[in-house]
Amino acid sequence: MPYEMAVMKDLDYDVIVVGGGPAGIGAALAAQRMGLRTVVIERHPYLGGMGTAALVNNFCNAHKENLKRPIIGGVFGELRRRLIEARAIFMTDGGWMEPYDPEAFIGEVSAMFQDAGVTCMHGRSVRAVDFSAAGEARLDLDDGTRLCGHAVVDATGDGVVAKMADVPYTFGRSDDKAVMPLTYCYSIGPIDIEKVRREMPFAIRHDSVANCDFIFVEEHPTVIEWIQKARTRGELTIPRKHIVSITSIPNNIEYATVNFGRVFCDDPTDPAKLAKAELEGRKQVDEGIQFYRKYLPGFENVQLKDLARQIGVRESRQIIGLYTLTGEDVVSGRQFEDVIAQCCYPVDIHEPNCDGTTLKAVRGPGHYDIPWRCLVPKSGPSNLIVAGRCISATHEAMSSFRVTPSVMAIGEAAGVTASIAVQKNCPMANVPVLEVQQRLLATGGILK
């Protein structure tokens, strides 16, 4: 059915951001703060995406040199400071993960959106797109709402809008299109912290901000031995050799969020296959809790506190952009003239269809640049830009920058680019990169 030309005035926007996860948060705040009328379409009832709805509530390192040198600022740096002031984040010397309270994350981001004036439309998804009119985009939502805007930022993680707009993309690994496994995260408690301290002291960390101890269970030889024993006995079938993390929740340290499961799915963008993966993920949650009760001291009485609203997806589509970031770019610490964000998180591939993990540290300067060209589709609508893990990159490269700090920085750059494109009435590809960089630097971004 063709689009009607008449659009309600209150549904007219300069920039439409699809997806309210970390990338969408960065994009929307950047655009609205540049004076552009901005709306975010988010399917969940709150913001945060993987960082809240999927309970992947930690910032993988955005600092170098033992937390002394930040490499990501801007919107991410602002949010991190707010969480520190609220004592809602754990920081440790040399720590590569900074767990935070997901409820505090939601509250702080919502306040930032309200202060900036960003419009949010929750509980809705995009059903159809039309980029046929010059300099205009029209989006139909699943509730019958129609939006009209001059620029669109695809921050869906899966490149949903880009696919609808026929932007070419790759999927998973280049040789077999396999994607990294999914994980259903959840929270448990109460945990007897004193018993953990006595019998599992390696699982106790000290927070340098709140000056308190908290639980952090990860890849420790003792825990790996327990996992192997449980698997041998048939008590544990989760295809994972180690626990990624069981981490206390700030301000509620007797409860912890868990990242342990591993669910194989060949296409997480397929609703039926995703639903099947979520069923398997729920079984792994139950199995994991039984394992903790039997093997982990202090966990004998834990119960399921919260199950994530969605299973965590690590990988799906990657658009084909003006440049494709490669694994060699990442591990060599390559620097680019059109840098719009930095990352120092290692290549971290949860291998498809097995329980292995491949890790490769970033060499050279210890961090690498993410070029602006990776956000701009090589072909497709001229007023569409992509943000988050689905930018133009290989399987190996994406496994590094897919974490919250870097995708939020990528989103911020996408929002700035979209805003300049609207202001100049030009295609995304014609936006001067120097102007994007100058705006990012002026608002606290770190580019070198």
pLDDT tens string 17-41? 999 999 999 999 999 999 999 999 9
Q: Which helix (H) or strand (E) holds 22?
A: helix 22-33
Mean pLDDT lowest for which of 59-68, 199-208, 264-273, 278-287?
59-68
Positive or negative, the CA dihedral 191, 289, 187, 215 is positive
Dist. CA 146–CA 140, nearest whole Å: 5
Radius of gyration of the chain, Cα coordinates, nearest whole angstrom: 21
Residues 6+ apart with CB under 8 A from 133: none
Sequence ranges of the domains in the chain: 9-177+315-442, 186-307
User: How distant is the alpha carbon of residue 165 from its chain centre?
Assistant: 23
This prediction has a pTM of 0.95
Mean pLDDT lowest for which of 53-67, 164-178, 312-326, 340-354?
53-67
Per-residue confidence (pLDDT) for residue 170, from 0 to 100: 98
Per-residue confidence (pLDDT) for residue 93, from 0 to 100: 62
CATH architecture of the domain 9-177+315-442 equals 3-Layer(bba) Sandwich (3.50)
Tell me the per-residue pLDDT of 326-378, one tens digit each, with 9 for 90 and over: 999 999 999 999 999 999 999 999 999 888 899 999 999 999 999 999 999 99
